[in-house]
Amino acid sequence: MARTYKLTAFEQDGEKLLDESFQAETDEQAKEMGENLLREKDLHEKTHRCTSPTGKLVLFHR
């Protein structure tokens, strides 16, 4: 069953650049999907995080 994950990306000053939710079956799939979304939007080098519905951090870059 798909679960909703939350992906956010920020500038160093805290400005939010991305705030998206998406569906994935597993944490591993969510990590891959989050990385792909960040690359598509050219935000993969910015501070970002992806969290599971339970609050688990599945992807993080500072």
Give the separation between CA 47 and CA 8, rounded to whole angstroms. Answer: 8
pLDDT at 40: 97
- Given this model, what pLDDT does residue 55 score? 95
Q: What is the pLDDT of residues 1-59, one digit of tens each?
A: 999 999 999 999 999 999 999 999 999 999 999 999 999 999 999 999 999 999 999 99
For residue 40, the SS3 value is helix
pLDDT at site 58: 97
| Residue 24: predicted pLDDT | 98
Three-state DSSP state, 20: strand
Phi, then psi, of 12 in degrees rounded to 5: -60, -30
CA distances for 45 relative to 2, 5, 6, 17, angstroms = 27, 20, 18, 12
In the sheet with 47-51, reading across from the earlier edge strand, the strands are 16-24, 3-10, 47-51, 57-61
